[in-house]
Chains A and B, each alone.
Chain A
C-alpha cells in the first residue's frame, strides 16, 4: 500500500515543532514532505494568496501551503492557541487553519487544535490526530511520547551548543526574533550571514528553555501574555550580561512585536539595540549596511568602555 503523504509548510510553527511532527508522523507510518526553503517564488505565491495587510511571516506561510498543493495527500496546518498557565499565541495562529481553508477550498488539510484554556491539551490534540489517521490508540500514545522526547533532545542540543557560544571571546549579539523569521532562508538568513561575516557571535533568543524564559520575562514585562514573545523577552534577561548588543527583527506589520519591541526599547537603556523590520520586498543591501553600522557602534562603545577602565 502506498504511504499517505503529509505535507508540512516550512514556515511559522515548523521551526518550533518540526522535529516532533516528523517523528510522530513517521512513526505512524506516514511519509512527510516538507516544502523547500522560502524563495522569492514562494513569497510571491504567498503574497498573491494573502490579504495585503497580513504580516509577511503569514504570507510566507501561505506560499508554502500553496506550494504543497498537489504534492501530498494532506497539508498539515496545526492550530495552537493557548498554553498551560494561560499564555496565548498571536491571533494569526488562532485563525490560520480557517484562513487556509477559505483560501484553498479544494485542498485537503489535516490539523490539530491545542488550546489549554478550553481543555484541549497537546496530548489530547495528538491523540485525536492519530485517531483521524487511523492509528491504534496505543501506537498513537507511543508515537506521541517518542515525538515529545525527540523534540526535547533536539532542543537540549541546540541549547548546549548556544551555551558554548556564550563563553566565546568574540563580539556577541542577541537576535530577538521569532524562529519563523530569523531561521527563514529568505528573510532571516541574510541577517545572520551579515553578522557572521563580521565575526559576530549570533545568539538566538528562542533557544533557551521556554518555561524558564517565560518566568524570567516577568522582570521586563509583567502583563505580557504572548508565549512566543515572552520566551524571547526572557532570553534578554538571561543573556543580558553576556552580550554586546540586541537586534530586534520583526516582519511588517506584526501585532505583538509592534508593542513588545516598543516596550523593550524603552526599558532597556544600557544595551545597544537596533530594529530591523522586514517587508515582503526588503533589500539585502540595505540590511547589510544597517548591520555593519550597528556593529561599528557596538565596537566603538566597547573600546570607550575599555578605555574608561
Chain B
C-alpha cells in the first residue's frame, strides 16, 4: 500500500513537517498537503464539528477532510495540554463516520520524541532507521528556527518598507530555498543569506515606532488565516509587531519552561493556569515592563486557558497602563469587525503616543 500522509496546516510550518515526513516514509509513500485554508475549509470543518468546540478543531478538521478528498490515507494530529489533546480521538471518529478510509496518529508536540516518530514511521517504511530520524529532525529543527528568525525580523520591520512587497518577495524565495536544505550548516547558511538580504531592504522606520505584542492561544497566533492576518494588518499601520509564541519557542526552546515563565509572570499568577494561558500572562508582563505601546490577546472563543488568563492580563493592563485589545475567534467572526477594532486600536495608540487627540 502506498501511504499518503497528511496533517493540518499551521502557517508556513508545513514546509519542515512535509520535509520530515517525506524523509521518514521514504519510498513507501508521499505527503499530500491539504489545500491552502480557504472559507471552504472552515465551513466544512464547522459543519462536522460539535457546536461549542474551539475553532482550531474546526479548521484542522476541515484540513483533514480536504486532504482525504485529495487522496490522503494517513493523518497526523498533534497533542496538547488543553482540549487539543482530545482532538484526535474525536476527529478520528467524525472522519470515520463520514466514511473516509484512513489511519490516524496523534503526536506529542515535543522536541524529544524521535523514538515515537521512529516507531510510527517504521511501520510504514521498513528501511527507516532511528539515526535517520534523529538526523532528519536535527535539520528540520534548524529549518524551523531559521523560519522563525526570518519571520521575527519581518514582523518587526515590514510595516516600514519604503517600497511595499520587498519583504514578501524575499520571504517567498527564502521559503523555497530553505525547504531544500539537507544539512544543518546548509540551513544556517540560507538563514544568514536571507537575513542579510532582508536587512538591505530600505526602511523608513522612526527611532521609536509603535510597538505591539501579540499573545494568546498558539493556533490562532500561528495560523494567520484564523486570525484574519492580524499581524499583516498591524504592519500596515506602521507598527512593529512582537510575538513570542512560535514553533521553535514552544517545541524546542529552553525558555519555554514553567519556572522561567512563572518568574516572568511576576506574581500575576502563582501557578500554571493551563496551556499557553500562563505564557500570555508572563509575556504581557514582559512587554508591559519593556514599554510596549499595546498588547493584542488572541484566542478561540471559549478557550479555557486563555479565558483564565484574562483577569490577570486585565490587571497588568491597569497596573502598567498598557491597553489590551482582546479577540475571540470563531468560525463566524466578522472580518470587518476585526479590521475596525484594529484600526481604532492603532488610532488610540497613536493618540497616546502623541499625547493628544488626532
Contact = CB atoms under 8 A, between A and B. Distances in A.
Interface of A: 51, 53-55, 79, 81, 88, 90-92, 94-99, 101-103, 105, 113, 221-226, 252-253, 255-256, 258-263, 266-267, 277
Given A98-B269, A255-B304, A91 B275 contact: yes
Contacts of B269: 95, 98
Interface in B261-280: 268-275, 277
A229 to B, nearest CB: 9
A280 B90 CA distance: 27
Interface stretch (B30-38, B64-72, B306-314): B306-314
Interface string B80-121: 011101111110011001000000001000000000000000
B51 interface: yes
A309 to B, nearest CB: 31
B268 to A, nearest CB: 7
A90 B275 CA distance: 11
A259 B83 contact: yes
Contact of B312 (A102, A252, A262): A102
14 contacts: A54-B307, A91-B81, A91-B275, A95-B271, A95-B277, A97-B270, A98-B268, A99-B308, A113-B271, A225-B86, A255-B82, A256-B83, A258-B52, A263-B93
Given A258-B50, A262-B53, A102 B302 contact: no
B328 interface: yes
A261 B302 contact: no
Given A95-B309, A258-B54, A259-B90, 18 more contacts: A51-B307, A53-B301, A54-B307, A79-B271, A91-B274, A94-B305, A98-B312, A102-B312, A102-B314, A222-B89, A223-B106, A225-B85, A253-B301, A255-B302, A255-B303, A256-B86, A258-B53, A262-B50
Nearest to A93: B274
B111 to A, nearest CB: 19
A81 to B, nearest CB: 8
Interface of B: 50-54, 57, 81-83, 85-90, 93-94, 97, 106, 268-275, 277, 301-305, 307-312, 314-315, 328
Contacts of A255: 54, 82-83, 302-304
Q: Which interface residue of A53, A79, A96, A99 has the most chain B CB atoms within 10 A?
A: A53
Contacts of B308: 91-92, 94-96, 98-99
Contacts of A101: 270
A267 B274 CA distance: 29
A56 to B, nearest CB: 12
B83 to A, nearest CB: 5
Contacts of A91: 81-82, 273-275, 277, 304-305, 308
Q: Which interface residue of B82, B94, B311, B328 has the most chain A CB atoms within 10 A?
A: B311
A107 to B, nearest CB: 14
A99 B53 contact: no
B273 A98 contact: yes
B304 A92 contact: yes
B89 A51 contact: no
A262 B54 CA distance: 13
B106 A95 contact: no
Contacts of B90: 259, 262-263
Given A92-B304, A224-B86, A255-B83, A51 B310 contact: yes
A163 B97 CA distance: 35
Contacts of A258: 50-54, 83, 302
The 6 A-B pairs with the shortest beta carbon distances in the complex, nearest first, are A91-B274, A95-B273, A95-B308, A262-B50, A253-B302, A253-B52
Contacts of A252: 52
Contacts of A81: 271-272
A53 B327 CA distance: 12
A259 B86 contact: yes
A296 B109 CA distance: 47
A53 B97 CA distance: 31
A103 B312 CA distance: 8
Q: Which interface residue of A51, A113, A260 has the most chain B CB atoms within 10 A?
A: A51
Contacts of A90: 304
Contacts of A253: 52, 301-302
Contacts of B273: 91, 94-95, 98-99
A109 to B, nearest CB: 11
B90 to A, nearest CB: 5
A164 B314 CA distance: 51
Contacts of B270: 97-98, 101
B80 to A, nearest CB: 11
Contact of A223 (B88, B94, B307, B315): B88
A113 B88 CA distance: 30
Q: Which interface residue of B272, B275, B314 has the most chain A CB atoms within 10 A?
A: B272
Q: Which interface residue of A88, A253, A277 has the most chain B CB atoms within 10 A?
A: A253
B271 A94 contact: yes
Contacts of B312: 98-99, 102
Contacts of B51: 258
Contacts of A225: 85-86
Contacts of A92: 274, 304, 308
A224 B85 CA distance: 8
B277 to A, nearest CB: 6
Contacts of B328: 53
A223 B85 CA distance: 8
A267 B90 CA distance: 10
B94 to A, nearest CB: 7
Nearest to B83: A255
Nearest to B272: A94
A258 B81 CA distance: 16
A76 to B, nearest CB: 16
Contacts of B277: 91, 95
A105 to B, nearest CB: 8
Given A91-B308, A103-B311, A224-B89, A97 B53 contact: no
A279 B270 CA distance: 30
A277 B57 CA distance: 20
